[in-house]
Amino acid sequence: MYGTPKDFVMNGIDNGEIIVLEIDVQGALQVKKNYPNGVFVFLLPPSLSELERRLTHRGTESDEQIELRLNNAKAEISKINEYQYAVFNDTVENAVKNIEHIIAAEKLRVINNDSLEYYLKEEIK
């Protein structure tokens, strides 16, 4: 089975949950077309040379496969303007911290803030 069931995602959203999808650029653009209110975060390598070093260090792919992955990365990075945020994956800890900051900021946006909506209803009475 490939992909995330749409019902799972929509039920979570309807219940006020934060749903994180780890998907490639093509998948993200498809989701964005169908759910434009989503928040899209592009996870970037610190540099292409570091990405190449990481791929080579793994020792799981041939030189040709690594070259293909690097070319795909360049093509995907060219789509970064389709996203609201970019996070550099320099270390797992920093990347997670920055994504947590994005989630916190999004919760405070006026359009997403249930507490603010409640406050305004009470204060305007």
Q: What is the mean pLDDT of residues 43-51?
A: 94
pLDDT of residue 116: 65
pLDDT at residue 56 above 60? yes
Q: What is the mean pLDDT of residues 38-67?
A: 94
Distance, first Cα to last Cα, the chain: 51
Render 40-108 in DSSP notation, one character per residue: -EEEE-S-HHHHHHHHHHHT-S-HHHHHHHHHHHHHHHTTGGGSSEEEE-SSHHHHHHHHHHHHHHHHH
Q: What is the pLDDT of residues 63-120, one digit of tens each?
A: 999 999 999 999 999 999 999 999 999 999 999 999 999 999 988 887 766 666 666 6
Q: What is the mean pLDDT of residues 43-65?
A: 94
Q: Is 7 helix (H, G, I), strand (E, B) or coil?
A: helix
pLDDT of residue 93: 97
pLDDT of residue 1: 44
Tell me what percent of the residues of the chain surpass a pLDDT of 90.
Answer: 64
What is the average pLDDT value for the chain, to the nearest integer? 88
pLDDT of residue 125: 57
pTM of the full predicted structure? 0.80
